[in-house]
Structure 1
């Protein structure tokens, strides 16, 4: 039987933009077992002196996560940051209204800063613009970033942190367009609040970068008027606009599910167009950059989450167990962002541990890598450099929601300093291997270092604590390069990473 074929041309001149390392960020919210039982578990056999799980630290270091958004999420819109600083024994337990639990506040700003240093990441700090506003936000920046000699900076020093944390990236609230959000606002209400908050935060520390809230998702009735109104208020005072999206396969239609990254492509393009409209309206010379600070597959745990008892501490919420097909869509979503690396500069896979996460743990026990761990890890470790636009010819298919879905989804990253090229490629075909031919004549003196493949005979296969190696990449790919022409077989329903280096 004739195998399907795809082709691609890769040229150094077809540069999209520099990949900001923060594109591979993640997210830890005070939600479920992300913090308590996830990154932190006092008394765990593998916990350090502060209670942070060293096994989890090691897995996060494998991912080379450059930045982590904290402490929310919906949580932040009802959070008093002062509850999470000072002596732990004196901290208040609170009803956590966003997720219906009790927050112990054992972990707060300073402890999270300590943990971030242990894993080698930066912090993307979020401020509460739901129940609070500019005053509390400016105080938090002073507490975190001002050296000394003022009330809030000296309070931090009295808490044992002589040197400022110097958090450079800050989110102005979370999903403020959502009726589910504590302190939900109209676009004008939020825009005015975000503007005044941005002003005082940057007066305290002019070096920080700020992210304004875009729509919670593109299905919101207020999309994209929300973005236009918010940017009308904040354009000159913020550096990024946020995007959030999650996809699911509740109707069990794999072909349609794997095409949903096309929706993400269109979402990104729509937001860029809205940003550029406001740029034109304001006669500005500044391009607004994007922060895709929540994205993932999320649907497996929806039913079980409805049964969780309210007002418990760190219940198992949003604990999706991911399959191979979920990992393939995560790979396609990473590719979507790399295709607009000129504008999408930050992103946060939501979330990092236990809560819709690449890493899972057992309380008092072990930890393991979910299927989605691997495309995320491949991109984060090997996707640093300049994103190149490949010219692709691919067979296509139609699905329930999409037409002309390419079987081949691919992104290219060229790291000139290290003389390396990485090809990320997903074969969406449910039945057949895709034979890929790549014109790489500008890289004729390169060699194939690795062709890693994530595949399984069962596209619903997942990893568990008992079987953590069920779905893992193997190095058995057949990619070969000769005289600037690369050939490779991409198995059906597979994630592929092909690494090239100068001979």
Structure 2
């Protein structure tokens, strides 16, 4: 039976924002220390930035990186991370039961972001701190000079302002685990007060107000509505966080996680629209999916929290350094497809996190860095998805899932840019069978110009991982992709391996009159 997909290059969902391909660096575990920063490593420069990790970050292609948290930020004093390193205080980090040396802070991250060619998305502490501290760090970062805080920045080595545009108003304040957890009413009012003062200092900032930390939170919906009633006129984006995992061997539901993300985004968008309409506000509030990934939280809950408690307070302990499988990579690819399908509402997104902590990149202290299985779909989508996201109609074979009902056996997303390049991203959710896809694209005469598929390698199983020693999971060419062109468009035919994620690059054939 297979799958039929219909597209027209003139029928678009919206432009693909480069911020859709963001990442996240938190002072958690080894994300910073022995992740992006390791003085004395054989590849590190004189600032302590690991060159091998930087190279992989550039290959991965994130556009914006959220920092310094995450849960960490809700007890963080930004002043601890500026000034001479030898004078910086060592603090307890209650969020991750760790010791924070503060050897890496605001200036170091700004320099690292410049080296990595990424935009900074900076989060302020609305847990233990509040309005004044948020205003202070904004003035320190963005005011040119002539004030105590801006001159302190200049004295600390940054003559020019950092010019950060993106600012998160706290993190996951709906969560009882959060330091300084608040009710929706309490947080909404605090976020509004903070936003007003920040805009007085720098009217050009873009502000992200914290939405629900998951769709399963009992406060989801009420939280968004209440917070936006306080802040909708003042902010630009509302965050949502989404993590997915396989439950009790239910691989079909896991492979359909993108359907859950689609629903989360559309429900949140409906709440935004309702609040804006009732307030009479003629503006857009985008959705910032500023934490998303696949994450087996059973391992964290059962093993690593016990190890943290037993090990006492330590610097950068190993926390949720999940070894990702080929199945995880396929799901990550489909979640990226969901983000592309929702570009009319999703203005930015950050995969959590970048290095070591549930990350596409792993690095050993004093040793090598390598690509996890999930590295590959992110890298390919960030490099290929440009222009507009196309509206697709998918018909044909479906599969039943325990959590999401019936879903298409193939999850699909596609983009088309002004240079006539089309990128198509296909997830085969069938774990047993190949699936034939016939993609009809109207309005462009296309030819295959590159194929990449991530699937179970020969002789392996769906739980195979990459490691410091071997990398069996990597993109390989997909054979047999054909194109039939006619005056109205192109029909692409491809056969997808079972349990696979595939990227197709298609180039427009230039037709010249004779």
The interval holding the TM-score normalised by the smaller chain is: over 0.9
* Residues 1:435 and 2:432 are matched in the alignment: no
Q: Is the 8 A contact 1:451 1:478 kept in 2?
A: no
2:464 to 453, 461, 464: 461
> Which residue of 2 is the match for residue 148 of structure 1?
145
Partner residue, 1:478: 480
Determine helix, strand or coil for the equivalent of 1:231: helix
Give the superposition deviation at 1:137.
0.4
The Cα of 1:402 is off from its aligned counterpart by 2.2
- Pairing 1:421–2:404 present: no
Q: What is the DSSP-based 3-state SS (H/G/I as helix, E as strand, rest coil) of the residue aligned with 2:200?
A: helix
Q: Distance in 2 between matches of 1:314 and 1:285?
A: 46
Moved more, 489-498 or 304-313: 304-313
Conserved 8 A contact 2:327-2:463: yes
2:507 is paired with a residue whose SS is strand
**Cα contact 2:9–2:441 (8 A) shared by 1:** no
Structure 1 counterpart of 2:512: none
The alpha-carbon deviation at position 478 of structure 1 amounts to 2.2
Query: What corresponds to 1:257 in structure 2?
Result: 254
Q: Does the 8 Å contact 1:453/1:477 carry over to 2?
A: no
Contact 2:455 / 2:501 at 8 angstroms: preserved in 1?
Answer: yes
- Answering whether residue 495 of structure 2 is matched by residue 498 of structure 1, we say no
Q: Residue 449 of structure 1 corresponds to which residue in structure 2? A: 449
Rounded to whole Å, the distance in 2 between the matches of 1:262 and 1:39 is 33
5 Å-filtered alignment, 1:176-191, equals 176-191=173-188
Deviation of 1:139 (Å): 0.6
Q: CA–CA distance in 2 between the matches of 1:368 and 1:88?
A: 29
CA contact under 8 A between 2:10 and 2:443: conserved in structure 1?
Answer: no
CA distance in 1, matches of 2:88, 2:343: 42
Q: Aligned equivalents of 2:336 and 2:53: distance in 1? A: 23
Matched, 1:305 2:308: no
Which of the numbers 353, 362, 374 marks the counterpart of 2:355? 353
Separation of aligned partners in 2, 1:346 and 1:441: 29
* Residue in structure 1 matched with residue 170 of structure 2 by the alignment: 173
Q: SS in structure 2 opposite 1:398?
A: strand
Q: What does 1:1-400 correspond to in 2, within 5 Å? A: 4-299=1-296, 301-302=299-300, 303-306=302-305, 307-308=307-308, 309-400=311-402
Contact 2:394–2:408 (CA<8 Å) still a contact in 1?
no
Q: Is the CA contact (8 Å cut-off) linking 1:124 and 1:168 kept in structure 2?
A: yes
Partner in structure 1 of residue 413 of structure 2: 411
Q: Within 2, Cα distance between the matches of 1:134 and 1:478?
A: 59
CA–CA distance in structure 1, aligned partners of residues 88 and 303 of structure 2 = 31
- Does the Cα contact within 8 Å between 2:184 and 2:223 map onto a contact in 1? yes
Task: State the 1:105 CA deviation.
Answer: 0.3
Cα distance per residue 1:40-65 (max 9 Å; x no partner): 01111111111110000000000121
User: How far apart, in 2, do the equivalents of 1:272 and 1:53 lie?
Assistant: 40
Residue 55 of structure 1 contacts residue 367 of structure 1 at CA under 8 Å; is this kept in 2?
yes
Give the 3-state SS of the residue equivalent to 1:443 in structure 2: coil
SS in 1 for 2:443: helix
Q: Is the 8 A contact 1:394 1:408 kept in 2?
A: no
C-alpha distance in structure 2 between counterparts of 1:415 and 1:304, whole Å: 46
Asked whether the equivalents of residues 177 and 216 of structure 1 are also in contact (C-alpha less than 8 Å), the reply is yes
Please state how far the C-alpha of 1:434 moved relative to its aligned partner.
0.7
Instruction: Output the CA distance in 1 between the equivalents of 2:102 and 2:6.
Output: 53
Query: Deviation per CA, 1:301-326, whole angstroms, max 9, x where unpaired?
Result: 42331223231000110101100111
Cα offsets for 1:117-166 (capped at 9, x unmatched): 11100100000000011100011011000101111100000001100000
Gapped regions of structure 1 (runs ≥ 5): none
Structure-2 separation of matches of 1:311 and 1:335: 40
TM-score after normalising by structure 1:
0.97
Asked if the contact 2:247–2:254 (Cα under 8 Å) also holds between the matched residues in 1, the reply is: no
Q: Once the 2 structures are TM-superposed, how far is the Cα of residue 415 of structure 1 from its aligned partner? A: 1.1
Distance of 1:273 and 1:421 partners within structure 2: 30
| Cα drift, residue 456 of structure 1 | 1.2
For 1:441 and 1:480, how far apart are their aligned partners in 2? Answer: 16
Distance 1:447 1:100 in 2: 54
CA-to-aligned-CA distance 1:211-240 (integer Å, 9 cap, x gap): 000011111111110000000000010000
CA contact (8 A) 2:453 2:475 kept: yes
Deviations 1:449-468 (A, max 9, x none): 0111111142111100010x
Q: Normalising to structure 2: TM-score of the pair?
A: 0.95
- Per-residue deviation at 1:476? 3.3
What SS does the corresponding residue of 1:495 show, helix, strand or coil?
Answer: strand
Q: Please report the RMSD computed on the Cα atoms of aligned residues, expressed in angstroms.
A: 1.0
